[in-house]
Structure 1
Amino acid sequence: MIEIDKQRTWAQIHYDRIAHNVKEVQKLIGNTKIMGIVKANAYGHGAVRCTQELKKAGVDYFAVACLSEAQQLRQAGIEDPILILGYTAPACFDELAQGHFVQSVVSYDYAKKLNAYGLAHNMKMSVHVKADTGMNRTGILYEDGQKDFEQICEVYWMKGLDVQGIFSHFPVSDDLGCDSKAFTENQIRLFNELVDRLKAQGIEPGLRHIQNSYGILNYKDLGMDYCRPGLLYMGVTSDDTIEIESNPDFIPILEWKTKVSLVKDVPDGATISYGRHYTCHGTRRIASLAIGYADGLSRMCSNQGLNVSIRGHLVPIVGNICMDQCMVDVTGFDDIVEGDVATLVGKDGDQICKVDEISRLAKTINNETLSAITSRVVRIDQNNELAK
């Protein structure tokens, strides 16, 4: 049991809410199965624990960004298929094979390297082909301007590969504007065309997946084999101001809290923090909080009116956020004292502080804000146990 009284700053993660959020995703996708995206330590929520909870909710396939993330899951006893979405260096192909991981084919030349390794070791490397239908990041091109269909076919025919699936990715599925919607719908058309062409060549495409989180929210059941939710099972979207085509009942699983380390009265005209960008007008009561940008609270939120909640009172951050501390104006709230809990994200009395508020002021999205919560912020579960 973690003693909250001894903590400086912490994230409490309600893993028991994941099952509810998975059900909300399932309502949107019909018979499509869920591939749990647990990269970047499950966006800061704890990859191993999130994977375990997703498994309890019926998820049977997982995806990460890189080899080390996949190895972490194997070491924790996760035996389900794990797709590595990003690049794995050829020097690490031994480890790919040892872990029985599924590697994304990030290019045709990369497929040839994987194939050569498989042939040299008398084995087949498990892969999913990445088809680039418009993201123009990784993958073999299959766009209106260039369709490298022959290269994709050749990957399927390589003797050193076991091609178990094919996938693509949406860059603007979060945007319901006419141009973006037309672009995404064309990606869907291109992907389905590619699958049909492969079948016409006698090639079994394998598992098909294309929907990211907003692809699920806005395009729902596309009849794919899998979809790839990330933040959704954590109960949030990238930005709660973005219009979506569905109305899921997600419950955020993360709360982010810190402690009041000092409360003092500061005289009229005094300035607060580095740069002296905030000046007190009249005597102000200022509380210091034990959290800063080295914990993941973006310095971009300095002097932007970001509120935290202490004893149910919303109070603004004033002055520049420091590496390990920040200050809030608690004038008029004499009940706030040293040792009180300050809530940056989560519920405090009648107040609800959303991660979206931090993200908007930092000019970013929740994906980054949550992933940026650093390792020195202890993660605990709903029972105040260390989240492993």
Structure 2
Amino acid sequence: MTERATAPTTPLRARAEVDLAALRANVRTLRARASGAAVMAVVKSDAYGHGAVPCARAAVEAGATWLGTATPEEAFALRAAGLDGRVMCWLWTPGGPWREAIDAGLDLGVSGMWALREIVEAARGARAPARVQLKADTGLGRNGCQPGEDWAALVAEALRAEADGLVRVTGLWSHFACADEPGHPSIAAQLTLFREMVAYAEGRGVRPEVRHIANSPATLTLPESHFDLVRTGIAVYGISPSPEVGSSAELGLRPVMTLSASVALVKHVPGGHGVGYGHHYVTPGATTLGLVPVGYADGIPRHASGTGPVLVDGKWRTVAGRVAMDQFVVDLGGDEPEAGTRAVLFGPGEGGEPTAEDWAQAAGTIAYEIVTRIGTRVPRVHVNEAPAG
């Protein structure tokens, strides 16, 4: 993926401008909401499409003391870029690069016995014990160890490996299923079970550095879930976890990414003119059409055909017809902006432009997907790279 610290000198077909000052402000807001717990900035999936290394650096500058990744490759990229603080990685498959992860000083999420045993084997002869964090499945039903006998066995095995000097149990953790739906009965049930599973492990001798279950929505709405560490993902990038939790502005967050493109063509067409594949849009009368040179190959959701909003020349327009692989059309209603005029698909909304949440509603999805799916053909242009003052 192309990453730039400053704006390029030549025009771009499209650009995703990433405001690192906004990201730092979001991290500071989350730290203030974290009830004294440490903050992990989750930078998986290329920092939700924003550029992992620049965003990770900015988050650390703003006080995040942990970074979170899904895959080991993501974590190794942070280390290669010189980020040497605490990095946790939690999505593993059998035969994973355990020894490399141990030598890189990563904290390794462990959800089952097979993973712990592979880690122990890889730790033999390593420079230091493997740092492992045991994950409890408290109700999400994805990764994580089931309560009861499975949890007891995993805790016992981890303690034996710790006694042998091969691992250090640095954390106990879990993940909410419905924290983005305040008041959902599963939230209290998961929190109760997490406390019980933590108490069991600690009662057997586990002494974790951190206990954590709170994601972005729980960080913002559920202080009793904060424990020692909160894992903040989408909120770092200024996007609300869900409308039920509140808008970005209501939560004191500012969206970090602004996606725009240069209008490639403006032309007059008569009424009754079909637009795009399948002619799902036909002009109701004589009008002007503008060609926006991004499409589903760039991550623009095809499900937003006919509904996706775009700000062109100070006015909201709507995708006319289907989103194609490389382009889509907007009906300009007779207006004649010049070719090269900036079309803003989404941004913070402060200049009247749509937001990622507007696109999520248009496509029937969530804002997480809108920003994360923006493809590698769209350069990330990082601005405000240096902290102020």
Fold match, TM over 0.5?
yes
Corresponding residue to 1:77 among 65, 78, 82: 82
| TM-superposition CA deviations, 1:282-304 (whole Å, max 9, x none) | 11211101111111110110012
**Counterpart of 2:134 in 1: which secondary structure?**
strand
1:53-107 deviations in whole A, cap 9, x for unaligned? 1111111111101111011101110000111121154252222123221111121
Q: Offset at 1:244?
A: 4.7
Q: 1:117 aligns with which of 93, 115, 122?
A: 122
Question: Which residue pairs with 2:232 in the alignment?
Answer: 229
Q: What are the within-5 Å matches in structure 2 for residues 29-48 of structure 1? A: 29-48=34-53
Alignment partner of 1:201 out of 189, 201, 204: 204
The one-letter amino acid paired with 1:291 is V
2:363 corresponds in structure 1 to 362
Q: What is the count of residue pairs matched by the alignment? A: 377
Change over 3 Å in CA distance of 1:222–1:106 after alignment to 2? closer
1:158-208 Cα offsets, whole Å, 9 max, x none, are: 23221111100001111125xx2x211111111112222223223313310
Query: In structure 2, what is the equivalent of residue 353 of structure 1?
Result: 354
RMSD: 2.2
Q: Which runs of structure 2 are paired with 1:49-60 in the superposition (5 Å)?
A: 49-60=54-65
Residue equivalent to 1:298: 301
| Aligned with 2:317 (options 290, 294, 315) | 315
Give the partner amino acid of 2:234.
L
Q: CA deviation at 1:347?
A: 6.1
Deviations 1:229-267 (A, max 9, x none): 01112111233x224599421111110000111111111
Indicate whether 1:275 and 2:281 are aligned: no
**Unmatched tracts of structure 1, length 5 or more:** none
- TM-score for both structures, normalised by structure 1: 0.91
For 1:154-233, list aligned pairs within 5 A: 154-158=157-161, 159=164, 160-177=166-183, 180=184, 182-233=185-236
- What do residues 340-363 of structure 1 show as CA deviations (whole Å, max 9, x unaligned)? 000001268851311111111222
**2:255 aligned with 1:249, yes or no?**
no
Pick closer, same or farther for the CA change 1:202–1:346 going to 2, 3 Å.
Answer: closer
Superposed displacement of residue 135, structure 1: 1.0
Which amino acid in the other structure matches residue 343 of structure 1?
Answer: V
- Verify: 1:96 aligned to 2:101, yes or no: yes
CA deviation after TM superposition for structure 1 residue 122, in Å: 7.9
Cα distance change on mapping 1:122 and 1:349 into 2, 3 Å: closer
Q: CA deviation at 1:151?
A: 2.6
Aligned counterparts of 2:385 and 2:329: Cα–Cα separation in 1: 27
The answer to which of 219-228 and 103-112 deviates more is 219-228
CA contact (8 A) 1:39 1:65 kept: yes
Tell me which of 323, 327, 330 is aligned to 1:328. 330
Closer, same or farther: CA 11–244 of 1 in aligned 2, 3 Å: closer
Pair 1:86 & 2:87 matched: no
What whole-Å deviation, never above 9, does each CA across 1:210-230 have from its counterpart, x for those lacking one? 001111122124351110001
Q: Distance in 2 between matches of 1:349 and 1:194?
A: 45
Comparing 195-204 with 97-106, which one deviates more in the overlay? 195-204
Cα shift at 1:281: 1.4
Q: Is the 8 A contact 1:108 1:155 kept in 2?
A: no
Q: CA deviation at 1:32?
A: 0.5
The aligned counterpart of 2:67 is: 62
Structure 2: 5+ residue runs without aligned partners? 1-5
Match in the other structure for 1:343: 344
Deviation (angstroms), 1:121: 5.0
Partner of 2:11: 6
Shift of 1:147: 6.2
Alignment-mate amino acid for residue 166 of structure 1? L
1:27 aligns with 2:32: yes
Which deviates more from structure 2 when the two are superposed, residues 341-350 or residues 157-166? 341-350
In structure 1, C-alpha distance between the alignment counterparts of 2:364 and 2:51, rounded to whole Å: 25
Residue aligned with 1:189, SS? helix
Partner SS, residue 294 of structure 2: coil
Cα distance in 2 for residues equivalent to 1:89 and 1:198: 25
- 1:9-56: per-residue Cα shift (whole Å, max 9, x none)? 001111011221122212222111101100000000111011111111
Alignment check: 8 A CA contact 1:290 1:324 kept: yes
- Residue 308 (structure 1) shift: 0.7
Aligned mates of 2:280, 2:96 — CA distance in 1: 50
Aligned-partner residue type, residue 313 of structure 1: K
CA distance in 1, matches of 2:279, 2:122: 59
Give the Cα separation in 2 of the matches to 1:2 and 1:245: 29
Q: Distance in 1 between matches of 2:218 and 2:349?
A: 33
Counterpart AA for 2:34:
I
Amino acid at match of 1:361: A
Change (3 A) 1:223 1:359: closer
CA distance in 2: counterparts of 1:195 and 1:348, whole angstroms? 42
